[in-house]
Amino acid sequence: MTELFKLTSSVVPVLVFLIALIYFDCFKLVSFKEILFSLFLGSIIALLCLMLNNWLVDQFFGSRTMYIRYGSPVIEETMKGLYILFLVARRRVGFLVDAAIFGCAIGTGFAAIENIYYIFSLSDTNPFLWVLRGFGTAVMHGSTTAILAIIFKNLVERYGEEKLKYFIPSLVLAVAMHSVFNHFFLNPFLSTILQLIIFPFLFFIVFNSSEKKIRSWLELNLDTDITILEYIKNGTISDTKIGAYLQLLKNNFSGLVVADMLCYLRLHLELGTRAKGILLLRESGFRVKVDSGIKESIGELKFLKKSIGKTGVLALSPLLSSSVHDFWQTHLLEKG
């Protein structure tokens, strides 16, 4: 019963925290499979860090206390953050709320394994210790990685490019937060209470801001995409400024390439409207499955992209929405 209490009090709080983030996400853009994989990956990272931490203490640090304050925050936040770097670089994260959920899931998997390890390696039966590990240390792991993901994603959205230089300040902030927590400047109970007030409030602000941004993006781009599609399908695109621009492209590209460009533009817009339609349905509580026809269209889009080449895609860029959200919407359709 003592072991059960340790496990429950040290692992359940951060799991509840993650479930709350998922519940309050109206659009449900992170799939259950992605959450499970993030939890699993966080668990693997925790096992690696436990082995690496012990080795680093023995080799380079004379004091475990010094390592806990300055060494482990760097190692642990870097290893957790690398998966966030991969996700954002591969455009697998659409909005800030997605970044928060991915980060919290990785941190939750990490915290669960770390606390399970300490349950079997520490003989302390003081219930207060395990409650603090659950509501304090475990929630800290989920929150610092979530904040790293939020800051990194926000910088990428602001500057429109997935660069390593935007990951570094995000990582530094996560490491600093982790290090401050490990210094125990405040009474552990007070520190835990402050954490449980500050982090949920911060995530509430992020979720609110993210949902407004999603709706703004949907309203702004959906109407434009539908209008251009109607011009293409009605054969009146040549009477528009877009048609005039395509005519100019004939001076630099062959007629076949320009025809492929028009097909690429049409498919890009069609897939974009489908993705935005799925988001609107999900916000209303409907679960939508992507049919095989859409995946075939994605394959055709990729073929056309290779056909017209990088120069052709660059020439079309003034006609295409090119925000990080528009690139991500293809991934939304691919994963279903």
Q: What is the DSSP string of 248-295?
A: HHTTTS-HHHHHHHHHHHHHHHHHHHHHHHHHHHHHTT---PPPHHHH
pLDDT tens, 182-217?
Answer: 988 878 888 889 988 999 999 999 988 888 888 777
Q: Which residue has the tokens 């602000």?
A: 205
Confirm whether 250 is domain-assigned. Answer: yes
What are the respective helix, strand and coil percentages of the chain, to the nearest 5?
Answer: 85, 0, 15
Looking at the fold, whether 204 and 241 belong to one and the same domain comes out as no
pLDDT tens, 50-75?
Answer: 999 988 887 877 788 889 999 999 99
Confirm whether 226 is domain-assigned. Answer: no
pLDDT attached to residue 180: 93
Confirm whether 225 is domain-assigned. Answer: no
pLDDT tens, 223-242?
Answer: 778 888 888 888 888 888 88
Average of pLDDT values for 148-166? 88
pLDDT attached to residue 326: 67
Confirm whether 223 is domain-assigned. Answer: no
Residue finishing a domain among 194, 210, 226: 210
Looking at the fold, whether 193 and 281 belong to one and the same domain comes out as no
Number of structural domains in the chain:
2
Looking at the fold, whether 46 and 186 belong to one and the same domain comes out as yes
State the amino acid at position 44 in one-letter form. I
pLDDT attached to residue 239: 82
pLDDT attached to residue 317: 78
Range of the domain at 286: 235-335
Looking at the fold, whether 19 and 124 belong to one and the same domain comes out as yes
Confidence of residue 336 (pLDDT cuts 50, 70, 90): low
State the amino acid at position 206 in one-letter form. V
Looking at the fold, whether 259 and 175 belong to one and the same domain comes out as no
pLDDT tens, 277-329?
Answer: 878 877 777 777 767 678 788 888 889 888 898 888 888 877 776 566 666 77
Looking at the fold, whether 258 and 164 belong to one and the same domain comes out as no
Looking at the fold, whether 164 and 120 belong to one and the same domain comes out as yes
Looking at the fold, whether 47 and 158 belong to one and the same domain comes out as yes
pLDDT attached to residue 149: 96
pLDDT attached to residue 101: 96
Pick the residue with more confidence: 78 or 185?
A: 78
pLDDT attached to residue 106: 97
Looking at the fold, whether 126 and 243 belong to one and the same domain comes out as no
